[in-house]
Amino acid sequence: MKFKVTMKDPDTLYDAIEEAVTEDIDSSLPEDEREALAECRIEKVRDLASTWFEYGEYLTVEIDTEAKTCVVIPKG
């Protein structure tokens, strides 16, 4: 059996991206450079994530109970 589930959480994706980007930036850079770099990277990652997340908060997965898999469905 296969079925799809759509999940919604408006803040989780943005918060996770912001945290990952912030941790990835070299802390030896001046603060203003870190902030500018973070903004640029956050936008790039959000654009990529929009492949799967609609409106930045809806994610649909398909669960296959026979294959025992769970696959993220691209939006669209």
Q: How many domains does the chain have?
A: 1
Distance CA 7, CA 34 (A): 32
Q: Compute the mean pLDDT over every residue in the chain, rounded to the nearest whole number.
A: 95
Distance CA 24, CA 57 (A): 23
Rounded (10°) CA dihedral 33, 35, 40, 44: 130
Question: pLDDT per residue over 37-69, tens digit each?
Answer: 999 999 999 999 999 999 999 999 999 999 999
- pLDDT at position 73 is 97
Range of the domain at 62: 2-73
Question: pLDDT per residue over 12-29, tens digit each?
Answer: 999 999 999 999 999 899
Q: What residues pair up with 3 in beta bridges, in sequence order? A: 63
Tokens in use for 67?
């294959």
